Amino acid sequence: MRIPRSPVAAAALLLATPVATALTPQPRALAAPPGGRTVIVQLFQWPWKSVAAECETFLGRKGYGAVQVSPPHEHVVLPDAGDGGHPWWQDYQPVSYDLDRLRTRRGDLADFKDMVARCHAGGVKIYADAVVNHTTGVSGGQGSAGTRFPDKYTYPGTFSDADFHTCRRPIRDYRDRWEVQNCELENLADLKTESPYVRTRLGRYLKDLASLGVDGFRLDASKHMPAADIAAILRETRAHIDADPSYTGTRDPYVYQEVLYGSGEPVRPSEYRGNGDLKEVQAMNFISRKFWSAADPADRIHQLHAFPVGWGDDMEAGDRAVVMVDNHDSQRDALPAADGGQDRQILTYKKGAAYRLANVFLLGWDYGTPLVMSSFGFTRRDTSPPRTADGTTTPVTCDGANWICEHRHSETADMVGFRNAVGDTPVNKAADAPEQDWYSDRSEGGPGNKIAFSRGAKGYVVINRDETTGWNRTYRTRLPAGRYCNVIGGDHDPAARSCKATHVVTVAADGTFTADVPRMSALALHVGATVEGPGGTPDTVINVHRDVGWGNRITLRGGTAPLSWSAGHDCVNHSAALWRCTVKGVPAGRPFEYKPLINDTRWSLGPNHTATGGQTVDIHPTF
């Protein structure tokens, strides 16, 4: 939850991230988005119905893994607060956690359930922004579901005065741990999270969300709760799940925490690692600084080569860090002081091409789990999302003015597919990395505003942050030979393997290609975005010599598209003991592994077979 605050409070109040951690320690894979999809999008203040539609029409087909939705609880209603009434931050002030009566300005319980089901059908997970540190900051009023409360320490049926800390004044000194975790964040009533009752009530709320199919939680304002209290709340969540014999919801929700850190402060993000992942806000600050201007020699993008190695104070490891270019708080900190901001150099959609290029880097680089922003237009810190007169949020229309929809920019949306295609293939960050792995215009005597880097043999990115000149050269890569689509602006169609003619790039057998990357633009190639045409992807033919009996069939599974280890590719029977498997789409010369199956259920014995794109091979498997 973020409301207008002082610069000191703002610096101290940042988030602590997600990556893939569940309620009990377990491998990261359990918390990761599905099917290798690793990108989260924050659809900030979107109504549930609009989120559902976006999952169906855009997010699923673009490869997004999860949506972070705004808080699903009854919130305070503030028609006269802020600048024009109904500020966005009213949604971060809970009045009750009763999901049976869930009604927010973004929708009700039926809308929420429908959203979860429709997003799941599109392969997109739902992460809920969960506010469990505090309630409201007003002396009394009514919630969005009609609950009346007499003061900010009394919520009938939920909390009473004894459930709140007794400090009952705003935090003054962020260098005092006790104050940070017992006094009030911007006058918001601070819950006594060490209380068994409070822990149980909050744990039940998270369990109720998980029972609706919510896949994970961003824990708001985690810094203002001791790490042990959060651990206890998560144990309560687990206990509620395990105690319900009819439970069919999410059993291992993904947890990420908001733990902001300021220099010299006693509360550090590292304390919270045992509970889940952390939002790495330092990464946001560094990326903004390097992409902010091409004129400052102290901050240019060539300096990002080793990022994040050697950067920052106790930065999180990549498998624990959720990283971003901006979020809903930092966007408002970037506003001028006259508009309620702090004049911070944080990139937002208002910065245009520089912001878009920073997102190319975020999604192209190998650090952390990316979280991308999707905003509504605002001019002041308190600006409400688009709404009706009674405060109800209006349906989303991506017009670039009322609803910005940055997640639809090609530099973001089409880099999601890049991220999925390259997986965890690392960037070579060695100082002496060869040109195929890292290159900048510094090697040409330039200022360092142009970089190119490889994700091994799976992807290649060029970013030209220069505001005056293009970058026309022959680039050296590790990509297999073939025809690729520059997915940024290329309108790549994976099914048809088509691309705008102006965005087709031919990689030669030695891994080189020649291209002119205009000023303030980028290029991205990956093995999942190849194009039909001369020199592209000839058929690969696997002849499987095996009689499998009447009524049975042979399929192939493999690790290179269009083959998959999860579903079989059908082969054609040419004689009793010959099945011909024609695989289209593997670039010429690319090695890949595969295995034949009988009826797509019975695997062949022995190690995986290998072939090369464009070959015709004969195999004699046993089963």
Same domain, 522 and 568: no
Same domain, 195 and 84: yes
Q: DSSP character for 525?
A: E
Q: Report yes or no on 535 lying in a domain.
A: no
Catalytically active residues are 220, 258
Last residue within a domain, chosen from 457, 491, 526? 526
CB atoms under 10 Å from CB of 470, counted, come to 15
How far apart, in whole angstroms, are the C-alpha atoms of residue 95 and residue 154?
A: 9
User: Does residue 30 surpass a pLDDT of 50?
Assistant: no
Residues 6+ apart with CB under 8 A from 135: 93, 94, 95, 152, 155, 159, 164, 188, 189, 191
Q: How confident is the model at residue 538 (pLDDT cuts 50, 70, 90)?
A: low
Q: How confident is the model at residue 17 (pLDDT cuts 50, 70, 90)?
A: very low
Q: Report yes or no on 127 lying in a domain.
A: yes
- pLDDT, one tens digit per residue, over 323-341 is 999 999 999 999 999 999 9
Write down the pLDDT at residue 534. 54
Q: Report yes or no on 5 lying in a domain.
A: no
Write down the pLDDT at residue 501. 87
Stronger pLDDT, 158 or 589, i.e. the higher one: 158
Same domain, 503 and 561: no
Same domain, 486 and 597: no
CB atoms under 10 Å from CB of 401, counted, come to 10
Q: Report yes or no on 319 lying in a domain.
A: yes
Q: Are 519 and 468 in contact (CB under 8 A)?
A: yes
Q: Which CATH number fits the domain that encloses residue 487? A: 2.60.40.1180
Q: Which CATH number fits the domain that encloses residue 557? A: 2.60.40.10
Tell me how many domains the chain contains: 3
Q: DSSP character for 358?
A: H
Same domain, 180 and 270: yes
Q: Which CA distances in Å does 332 have to 118, 195, 379, 409, 424?
A: 32, 34, 9, 21, 33
Q: DSSP character for 465?
A: -
Same domain, 405 and 485: no
Q: Which CA distances in Å does 523 have to 58, 148, 203, 462, 586?
A: 22, 55, 46, 5, 22
* 226 prior amide bond cis, ω within 30: no
Write down the pLDDT at residue 576. 79
Q: Report yes or no on 6 lying in a domain.
A: no
Whether this prediction's pTM lies above 0.85 is answered by no
As a whole number, the mean pLDDT across the chain is 91
Q: Report yes or no on 33 lying in a domain.
A: no
Q: Report yes or no on 372 lying in a domain.
A: yes
Same domain, 213 and 361: yes
Same domain, 130 and 201: yes
Write down the pLDDT at residue 587. 75
List helix spans (H) across 189-337: 196-211, 227-242, 281-292, 328-333
Same domain, 521 and 544: no
Q: Which CATH number fits the domain that encloses residue 274? A: 3.20.20.80
Q: Report yes or no on 19 lying in a domain.
A: no
Write down the pLDDT at residue 407. 98
Mean pLDDT confidence for 387-402: 97
User: Does residue 399 surpass a pLDDT of 50?
Assistant: yes
Place of tokens 């920052």: 312
The rounded Cα 317 to chain-centroid distance in angstroms is 16
The whole domain housing 592 covers 540-619
Same domain, 92 and 168: yes
Same domain, 53 and 175: yes
User: Does residue 33 surpass a pLDDT of 80?
Assistant: no
Express as a percent the part of the chain with pLDDT over 90. 81
Write down the pLDDT at residue 398. 97
Same domain, 413 and 556: no
